[in-house]
Amino acid sequence: MARTTAGPAIASVLFAATFVATIIGIFVTIYFLFINPDLAYRVAAATLVGVVGLLSFLRHSVFYRSDQARMGWAQDRPEFQLEVGYANLAIGLIALMAAGLNWGPLACGLSLLTYGTYLLCALLLHAYEAMYVVEIRARATKSVINTAFFVAALYIIGYLALAASHTAQF
């Protein structure tokens, strides 16, 4: 691949949009949990997995050079980064279908738990980096905090959706 440079601006905007979508998704989901729980699970799947997954796909796969600049690293073979983007796209599209086609709280809950598990693996990687990679410790520590919050939200809402579908243990 030919080496070209890109600035971090596009990826930074997409990353900020991911944060905004997450915050809006969590608050709207909590609001609807008290009014219409089934709608809450659809909103959660659509925003927290669908929108966030699509934005992450764009950042990791379409604008991968900008994302590399944002993170402060570059590589000539970005296949890993593209693959991460495709995983986000796959999970996000299924969540959008589950929410948009009203597949019910079970499908929405499974989407939330799947994405939560995927990001839990990323959280473990960030935790390793925060502990052992001195050069990126500060950035990795921020990633641990942000990702842990998001994973917890995905698991809690996902579990509530499973409980609403009468498939959860409790």
User: Each residue of 52-79: pLDDT tens digit?
Assistant: 999 999 999 999 999 999 887 778 888 9
User: How high is the pLDDT of residue 126?
Assistant: 94
> Alpha-carbon torsion 100, 84, 56, 40, what sign?
positive
CB contact at 8 A, 105 and 38: yes
| Residue 35 pLDDT class (50, 70, 90 cuts) | very high
CA–CA separation, 87 vs 68, rounded Å? 18
Digit-coded pLDDT (tens) for 99-136: 999 999 999 999 999 999 999 999 999 999 999 999 98
Following DSSP, what letter does each residue of 20-87 receive, concatenated?
A: HHHHHHHHHHHHHHTT-HHHHHHHHIIIIIIIHHHHHHIIIIISHHHHHHHHT---S-THHHHHHHHH
Residue with tokens 């659809």: 42
Instruction: Average the pLDDT over 10-23 and give the result.
Output: 97
What is the model's pTM?
A: 0.93
CB contact at 8 A, 40 and 13: no
The secondary structure element, H or E, covering residue 164 is helix 137-164
Cα–Cα nearest to 104, from 51, 165, 44? 165
Instruction: Average the pLDDT over 43-57 and give the result.
Output: 98
Indicate whether 168 pLDDT > 70.
Answer: no
Instruction: Average the pLDDT over 27-31 and give the result.
Output: 98
Instruction: Average the pLDDT over 34-54 and give the result.
Output: 98
User: Which residue type is seen at 93?
Assistant: L
- Phi first, then psi, for residue 75 (nearest 5°) are -150, 150
| Domain spans in the chain, listed from the N-terminal domain onward | 9-164
Which residues, at least 6 apart from 15, have a Cβ–Cβ distance to it below 8 Å? 59, 70
